[in-house]
Structure 1
């Protein structure tokens, strides 16, 4: 395990240049002390890695040093076939380049490994779009991608739930989630998320965008999504769910279902179980519960139970009139 981490550390320093001990510790999910020990091990093995002290310091390889220890394991070579996020590359304007790079990567692998990677590519396909979610990429996506890549600040006119607002931000990355693109950007000392489809206009500035030290897009996104979901579902509803209702809840809202299972009571004679659901504020809670149909009964709070009954009555009245 440590040998694998040492190799990964060496390759990371070669690819990214100077990295702080704290950033490397976050990357490999180890302590800062472990990173210092790993660097000492690399130095003892003859790798010319040196430390630069100070606020912008870190570990760095001596200029010009490269390693060829980049051979792929059989499993890694097979996984190459899953690297082609074709739709995302196409929307960013990199479709042909991504396909060309993928072909060259396959061609560079040893014969046995290359055939395995090709086999995976022929049998597994990644489609990030939601059902019925086919749409054109938002107009702001291409210029945003260029600004992200070139590290330039951008001025945005953004349509939020409060209305249109103007923002000047330092773009840090783009994320494709469930068919929608999101911009992660630094605003003053904060890092915020903007839905690219809600950007009305964009102007790329000449000013360079400064990235926060040690910022890792994937780690930030995972943490931001978890915090957003917790904040969004800040309300509790006591409900009864039928066996089918439980199955629907697991299919539609897996994270909510997992929490609900922890609070579930024993089933009654018909298999219904009481539990507590984390729901959103306002109408969204009503819309989510309606997706469960007659397989859920809201017990508390009374206003949510009443709203669900009123909505059901409107549906009955609408369909009974014909």
Structure 2
């Protein structure tokens, strides 16, 4: 890992000309002290890196210095293969590998093309952290050590032992046969089999992971897109589904359709509102979805949902009541 970081450090200096130690530390995701040690190691290895003092100083390479820095490592090559989605690389713990790989790709370009490519990259932004309404995307936070073990088991075809915390259940250890990794809107999932049955695990709920030496019991080939579609269908049609009868302002119909698993029936009431039957994954999902619609919707049945929404609205009104 240190060798890759030293290569990345040289490539950063070649690309930017001069960089301060704090700036290098941010790019390499290490401490300033580590950067200083790496600079010393480069100098000892004969790389002509020198320090410039002053407010605009930093570290730089002697003009005209070039060396052979070709060769992507495994994680960098993997990161480039999924570079179509920056969030995909982040979700699978390959964000730093992607940054390092892209430095090597830029450095491998002919000098006449390098500046054009850099300018083009600055003019294209894919999947930013926030949308026009400043709503921030919140991808899953998975510790690097956990993600590395999971990724290694998936790609190496080994069994995996995970400490998993399912919703509303205490965390416990499970041994699974990993099939593949999927990222959807910044959320990561592990597709696996357990005792021969298909299982899907949210990566952010894996608290610890350990790759085991024995091979995973899984098919030699997998159509991950099809496997994900099949599991998504089972998820939508299984579990503790709830059917809700509700009235809805037509202006919020698109919001309901996007949230509900399915709309079973739909008709218009005399006042212009819609009367629908919709299914939700479970009671928690139903309550959350109706609460998002606020006064633009009214749950007519089941009664427990009306009571739950009434209790929540009463508590909110009491909190904001003017004294």
TM norm structure 2: 0.60
Contact 2:150 2:210 in 1 (8 A): no
Equivalent residue in structure 1 for 2:136, among 125, 131, 134:
131
> How do 1:126-205 residues align onto structure 2 when only pairs under 5 Å count?
126=127, 131-133=136-138, 136-138=141-143, 139-160=145-166, 161-205=168-212
The gaps in structure 2 that reach 5 residues or longer are 1-79, 110-115
Specify whether residues 299 and 209 from structure 1 end up closer, same or farther in structure 2 by C-alpha distance, changes over 3 A only.
same
Contact 1:82 1:125 in 2 (8 A): no
Tell me what 1:276 maps to. 277
Tell me what 2:310 maps to. 309
Contact 1:237 1:278 in 2 (8 A): yes
1:201-254 residue CA offsets vs partner (Å, 9 max, x unmatched) = 22211111132255321211122112212325722111111123324324x52x
The structural deviation recorded for 1:165 is 1.8
The structural deviation recorded for 1:85 is 2.1
> How do 1:3-152 residues align onto structure 2 when only pairs under 5 Å count?
84-90=84-90, 92-95=92-95, 98=98, 122-123=123-124, 125-126=126-127, 131-133=136-138, 136-138=141-143, 139-152=145-158
**For 1:306 and 1:295, how far apart are their aligned partners in 2?**
17
Contact 1:82 1:121 in 2 (8 A): no
The structural deviation recorded for 1:183 is 1.0
The gaps in structure 1 that reach 5 residues or longer are 1-79, 109-114
Specify whether residues 245 and 167 from structure 1 end up closer, same or farther in structure 2 by C-alpha distance, changes over 3 A only.
same
Pairwise CA RMSD of aligned residues? 3.7
Secondary structure of 1:264's aligned partner: strand
> How do 1:172-321 residues align onto structure 2 when only pairs under 5 Å count?
172-212=179-219, 214-232=221-239, 234-250=241-257, 252-253=258-259, 256=261, 259-260=262-263, 263-269=265-271, 271-320=272-321
**For 1:178 and 1:319, how far apart are their aligned partners in 2?**
34
**For 2:302 and 2:94, how far apart are their aligned partners in 1?**
51
**For 2:93 and 2:310, how far apart are their aligned partners in 1?**
49
**For 1:218 and 1:127, how far apart are their aligned partners in 2?**
25
> What is the total number of aligned residue pairs between the two structures?
234
Specify whether residues 249 and 121 from structure 1 end up closer, same or farther in structure 2 by C-alpha distance, changes over 3 A only.
farther
Contact 1:181 1:195 in 2 (8 A): yes
Contact 1:91 1:142 in 2 (8 A): no
The structural deviation recorded for 1:296 is 0.6
Contact 1:82 1:126 in 2 (8 A): no
Specify whether residues 202 and 90 from structure 1 end up closer, same or farther in structure 2 by C-alpha distance, changes over 3 A only.
same
1:93-143 residue CA offsets vs partner (Å, 9 max, x unmatched) = 5446546777869x99xxxxxx9xx97995461459983415643341121
